Amino acid sequence: MTIGITGGIGSGKSTIARDLAKRGFVVYDCDREAKRIIAENKEVQQAIIDLLGEEAFVKGIYNTQYVAQRVFNNPSLLAQLNAIIHPAVGADILEKKPDFVESAILFEAGLDKICDKVIVVEAPEDIRIARTITRDYHGDTSPDNINKVRARMRTQKILTGDLVINNDGQKTIPELVEKITHWMCKN
């Protein structure tokens, strides 16, 4: 069985996924694996070059800054880029058959369709903002950084899952993972 783990930015999904991996489960980190696929898969690289031009790779290395500048203000280009990367990630997941697939964009990427079950990790907005500020902005709580986090939150679409985990800090990560493993045994 392959279980998707998703949740908004700062919800704690990656922390839960790391704890599951420490317990011996195979966890597929979609962000990390997408970067690997872009770096290694010649067909994906060529499709990106065809879409965005030779500048998408500099000396064979993915030019993240250039690509971001091109796609994030152009929804059509972003959708076309995602149409290259998401199917490649999905095929890789099907080949590897992990226990868990961790992705912030599980539903947007259509990866929920290849998962048998989906876990959604939730947390209150103020906690999610604080976690993200600590992780991505070194604790700098300037209004500009808070607005950046809120803007990222607005772009994420989280639908309901088969299990919802509330990661509001009332329970430890190991306690939340125990809830997940207990739920798995029943399903």
pLDDT in tens, 116-143: 999 999 999 999 999 999 999 999 999 9
Per-residue pLDDT, averaged over 52-79, amounts to 93
Number of other residues whose CB lies within 10 A of the CB of residue 63:
18
Does 155 score more than 80 pLDDT? no
What dihedral angle (degrees, nearest 10) is formed by the CA atoms of 56, 61, 63, 64?
A: 120
Residue percentage of the chain with pLDDT more than 90: 87
Number of other residues whose CB lies within 10 A of the CB of residue 161:
22
Range of lowest pLDDT (23-37, 101-115, 156-170): 156-170
CB 28 within 8 A of CB 94: no
In whole angstroms, what is the distance from residue 112 CA to residue 6 CA? Answer: 9
Confidence bin at 91 (pLDDT 50/70/90):
very high
Q: Give me the pLDDT at residue 2, please.
A: 97
CB 167 within 8 A of CB 123: yes
Does 87 score more than 70 pLDDT? yes
In whole angstroms, what is the distance from residue 65 CA to residue 160 CA? Answer: 33
Q: Where are the alpha helices (DSSP H) in 53-99?
A: 64-71, 75-96
Burial label, 28 (beta-carbon count in 10 A; 0-12, 13-18, 19+): buried
Considering only CA atoms, give the Rg of the chain: 17
Per-residue pLDDT, averaged over 95-119, amounts to 95
Q: Give me the pLDDT at residue 152, please.
A: 81
In whole angstroms, what is the distance from residue 184 CA to residue 14 CA? Answer: 18
Secondary structure element (H or E) that encloses residue 106, with its range: none
Q: Give me the pLDDT at residue 158, please.
A: 67
